[in-house]
Amino acid sequence: MNLYTINTGYFKLDGGAMFGVVPKVIWQKTNPADQNNLCSLAMRCLLIEDGKRLILVDTGIGDKQDVKFFSHYYLYGDDSLDKSLYKLGFSRDDITDVFLTHLHFDHCGGCIIRKGEKLTPAFKNAIYWTNHKHWHWAINPNDREKASFLKENILPIEESGQLQFFSDYEGPSFYNNINIRFTYGHTDAMMLPQMNYKGKTLFYMADLLPTVGHIPLAYIPAYDMFPLQSLHEKKFFLEEACTNNYILMLEHDAVNECCTLKITDKGIRLAECFKLSDI
């Protein structure tokens, strides 16, 4: 198995929203905000090469929305999904599977492209993977979360015939050394892939742990639908990760790709950061 970082670009979100009840005077030490109180975030995807399978975990925000939509998120940088794949010698057509942690627009927007008036899968040879519970949650969104579930990102996947579902329970095996963990605090039935890689356990953290600045337990984004559930899941998972020396790959940290954790007198904290390629 080979793992690769796929950088799809950077965007900005309100720092208060990203850190919930934690005061700015505290969170800005690790995630400094600009003059508009916006924090820089990555949209870092993961590419898994294993035998004949080339699996892309999440797809970034994509480029099919209009100027008004993108103006809310301040996209910047030269990275894109296509550029990142090209640097590794791959293209969209090589992707065999797209694993979607969840269907918020910054995680699945790149699934679908616009060709004229038609919306079509960006990965024509791939199977798109989600689970029944999250799919139904996304296509019947609540009023608070519906701005994150855009129909143009989601429904064309089903219409293409390329959509498949995992079972809605903890621990199903996806492929070889890839298992799935479910979480329910950020959104219903978000999936985290777990991999055995070079003798270590690596987790792609999606929005359970957006950045290293979110390691302290109380640092829960206001975007989470069920913050107390997030707190419970995060506490349980970070303790497990710390005990077993897991490597955590961070989807939204604008600076750090991967990290490990340690126990301190203040609780679980960052041990070290490094690139995926350094493992």
Q: Work out how many domains the chain is built from and give that number.
A: 1
Q: Is residue 110 part of a domain?
A: yes
Contacting residues for 216 by C-beta, under 8 A, at least 6 apart: 22, 266, 267, 269
Contacts of 277 (CB under 8 A, 6+ apart): 4, 5
- Residues 56, 123: contact at Cβ < 8 Å? yes
State how beta strands 38-50 and 2-14 pair. antiparallel
Range of the domain at 136: 2-204
Helix, strand, or coil here: 17? helix
Residue 48's domain is classified under what CATH number? 3.60.15.10
* Rounded Cα gap, residues 25 and 23, in angstroms: 5
- pLDDT of 171 higher than 80: no
- Residue 24: inside a domain: yes
User: How confident is the model over 126-142, as a mean pLDDT?
Assistant: 96
**pLDDT single digits (tens) 38-89:** 999 999 999 999 989 999 999 999 999 989 999 999 999 999 999 999 999 9
Q: What are the φ and ψ backbone dihedral angles of 240, each rounded to 5 degrees?
A: -65, -45
pTM flag (> 0.85): yes
Does residue 44 form part of some domain? yes
Q: Are 159 and 105 in contact (CB under 8 A)?
A: no
CA dist 24 to 18, 45, 115, 159, Å? Answer: 10, 28, 42, 44
The pLDDT value given to residue 35:
94
pLDDT greater than 80 at residue 112: yes
- Within-domain flag for 213: no
- Structural domain includes residue 134: yes
Does residue 177 have a pLDDT over 80? no
Neighbours of 230 (CB within 10 A): 23
Q: Per-residue pLDDT averaged across 225-234, rounded?
A: 97
Query: Is residue 155 assigned to a domain?
Result: yes
pLDDT digits (tens, 9 = 90+) for 6-47: 999 999 999 999 999 999 999 999 999 999 999 999 999 999
Residue 275 lies inside a defined structural domain of this protein: no
Quote the CA–CA distance of 243 and 44 in Å, as a whole number: 26
Beta-strand ranges (E) seen in the chain are 2-14, 38-50, 53-57, 97-99, 112-115, 118-121, 127-131, 163-166, 173-175, 178-183, 190-197, 200-204, 247-249, 258-264, 267-274
Is 210's pLDDT higher than 60? Answer: yes
Confidence tier at 118 by pLDDT (50, 70, 90): very high
Q: 71 lies in a domain?
A: yes
